[in-house]
A and B are shown apart, each in its own frame.
Chain A
Amino acid sequence: MTERTVQTTLDGSEPRTSRAIEASGVSKHFGGVQALHSASFSADFGEVHALVGENGAGKSTMIKILSAVLAPDEGALRIKGVEVSLASPLEARRLGVGTVFQELTLLPWMTVAENLLLGNEPVGPTRLIRRRQLPARADEILEGYGVEGIDPLELVASLPLAQRQTIEIVRTLLRDPEILFLDEPTSALGEREVEWLFGLVRGLRERGRCIIFTSHRWGEVVNIADRITVFRNGEFVTTREHMGEAEAVTLMTGRTIERMYPELPRPAQDADVALEVRDLRGTRVDGVSFQLRRGEILGVGGLAGQGQRDLFMTLFAARRPSGGEISVGGKRVRLRKPQDAIDARLGIALVPEDRKSEGLMLPLSVRDNLSLVVLSRVSAGGIVRRLRENRMVGRMVERLQIRTRRVAVQEVGTLSGGNQQKVLIGRWLLAEPDIMLLYDITRGVDVGTKHDIYQLMVELIGEGKALLFYSSDTEEMAHVCHRVLIMREGRIACELAADEIDAERLVAAALKEHAAV
């Protein structure tokens, strides 16, 4: 490990030690799960330090301990060279630590302005908060950070995820932390917002701050990190300045993955059309038409928030279309509720991205979560046949390599994020759909699981299933789709065929079409 000797002067007075924060021999367990096992980590002032690893490797736990949200079972923490025992997040904040957590910490039923200025509200001579001044102050702050298009009087609950994440970041930066933790800040952001964030991060680095961030997107890590630390299974693996992607994947997963993205078999030219959409209209879906063939993976791209999500929801009948036609297997269908999409031999399944709020029941077992949609198939006379259910669920756990100790007992909430996502995919696979709508299913999922998911997608199209695919990761989009439709403001702006898809072209197409407005 290289020891750095960057001397930085934050306020022009005395120089500081270069070491910003340090944890040594930190252990933490939750119930029977050992999240960190005598792990160490350190970062310096003046650097951007990436902390990488699979879901459940202990990155978030380490960040929470260093931010004093969690107390370690054992181990020592040093901030700016001084050993500390942090009692509360407030204390960490006083020592100059600022953290953007993975789970957002915004208050949903309060306005953007109230959230931004929480604990720092403008007060009058009587020390009472001047509520009327909140919006103007919030506007000033947002403008100062180059954020546009967010109404300070909007309730946070009604904002899209990317904007919530943006506010979360601004709120943390407002306190001008010397040591900034960003726990997966980009998973909810679109291309432009990521650029915005990285601009801010570079500025902070120039001012000698210490920035520690986690990401599952290797491109981002290479783009901005000065040093990279790898965690695996709650343990420190290594810290380096340079690391190739293949090597990083091996270090993170402990296995060698030859190639990240699979070879896509071409769909047969004369394959049946599985799903045809003609002039579909609805909320934020404006005259969308396309055909999806069996054995094909069709990407839906474009900038974030251009109606992709709405299109998926409408196809799954979670939203009512206001016009247009949907045909499945050549027959026109009318979908009123998701049950129609699942049943009626239509076989459409939607795997959503937000596994916590839209998919899994975290306190229920892996088995209960898996068999939920197909309970009627394993029931006789309204009674669930456990034996049949267990057999069916067991096969799926094996097929997807879900790492669980006891299928019937272990709560899904205690699985790692990647395995949770597999459970969600497995639930819909059990319904044996012909058409799967995969909406950002690899968000916040580690490389090993991503690899497994890509393999699975190739298997599925081999079985003749048709996949509609959206991902916030452009790189991934470029590699796992046969064709990509670029959406802009609810319309299909253009289509990229197989041989013209790469990440740069996807971004260019999305941006160009946007600029043309």
Chain B
Amino acid sequence: MQQAPLLLSFAILAGTFGVYAGLFVSNQHHFLTPFEGQSIVNTAVPLVFAAVGQTVVVLTRGLDLSVGGVMALTNTIVASNMHSSTGSMVAWSLIGLAIGAGAGLVNGCLIAFGRLQPILVTLATLSIYSGLAIKVLPEPGGSIPIEYTKFMANVNGPWGLIYVAGLLLVWFVFRRTPFGVAVYAIGNDQAAARASGIKVRLVKVGAYVFAGTLFSAGALFFSATTLGGDATAFDPFILTSIAAVVLGGISFFGGRGSAVGAVAGAFALTLVTPLLFQANVNQLYTDAFQGLFLVLAVVLAGLVGRLVSART
């Protein structure tokens, strides 16, 4: 019964995929090719990383709106500096991750030590990080070496799934560390966690640092697939990362849910755009339909939740 929200997020993913595949087959008269698979996975991976990062923060009963800014800053800096030598690619990848960690550190310290509301802090830092990104790259541009793209996102198939698998591995390790336990404990009841000897402020900072690093990892993959930098390309991630968390069945009251659900949620959200395309819906309405999709999913989750609790 405790797994109900998780199962539901997978049911939503399966349902969305089923509708998409059905429309695709009836339109194209053949099944999905590796190209569609690769395209969907490559679009999904940055959101998957952002959603898992957002999950960690939401589990502490927080919220990170700065995800768009962190990703933009990582993307613009990397796209402005990376060269095609292996050394440069490795170095700038690590620097990219460090940018995310640093941005998370700022968020976390303001929230934990400044005792400020997460939503206020990250709304402010969203503007700051986005502003810095525009300073770095006022116009879309820069360049990502093709070798980096080949390594990160092989065009011949859904290689991005390897990163998703790696991310899930990181998640399962995280769940089995004292840090992971502490993140859940804080979301359950901060005062109780403190009384149980958990260093609440330190763990909170850690959660934002972890999240920031994951945001940047998503941004690196995004950079590799788009081949350049664009400071304005990441605003959608703010809402979609939160939406994926909702679809993943993670409680906004903290302490409940799994990033595995958020991964499923991220894929389901990513599928909405190609699904609408196959259904011949004007691209302009994509946002509206995504919103509708979200409302339906949440209502469904509520209904299932009530059914489950009525039976026990």
Contacts and interface: CB of A to CB of B under 8 A. Distances in A.
B2 A155 contact: yes
A84 B120 CA distance: 39
Interface residues of B, number: 25
State the majority secondary structure of interface residues on B. helix
A413 interface: no
B193 interface: yes
A93 B193 CA distance: 14
Given A118-B181, A155-B2, A108 B198 contact: no
B176 A128 contact: yes
Contact of B181 (A105, A106, A114): A114
A119 interface: yes
A108 to B, nearest CB: 6
17 contacts: A69-B195, A89-B194, A105-B192, A106-B189, A106-B192, A107-B184, A107-B255, A108-B189, A109-B188, A110-B188, A118-B181, A118-B185, A119-B196, A119-B197, A121-B178, A121-B181, A131-B176
A218 to B, nearest CB: 29
Interface in A253-306: none
A131 B184 CA distance: 14
A90 interface: yes
Contacts, number: 65
Given A108-B255, A129-B178, 9 more contacts: A104-B192, A107-B193, A109-B187, A114-B181, A119-B198, A128-B176, A128-B177, A129-B180, A129-B181
A21 B8 CA distance: 53
Interface in B1-42: 2
Contacts of A470: none
A114 B189 CA distance: 14
B195 A101 contact: yes
Nearest to B251: A109
Contact of B177 (A106, A118, A129): A129
Contacts of B181: 114, 118-119, 121, 129
B185 A107 contact: yes
Contacts of A69: 194-195
B188 A89 contact: no
Interface of B: 2, 173, 175-178, 180-181, 184-185, 187-189, 191-199, 251, 255-256
Contacts of B178: 119, 121, 129
A107 B189 contact: yes
Contacts of B187: 109
6 nearest interchain CB pairs?
A107-B188, A105-B192, A128-B176, A105-B195, A129-B176, A109-B256
Nearest to A155: B2
Nearest to A127: B177
A69 B188 CA distance: 18
A118 B196 contact: yes
Contacts of A99: 195
B197 A110 contact: no
Given A109-B255, A128-B173, A128-B176, A89 B195 contact: yes
Contact of B197 (A89, A108, A114): A89
A109 B185 CA distance: 9
A109 to B, nearest CB: 5
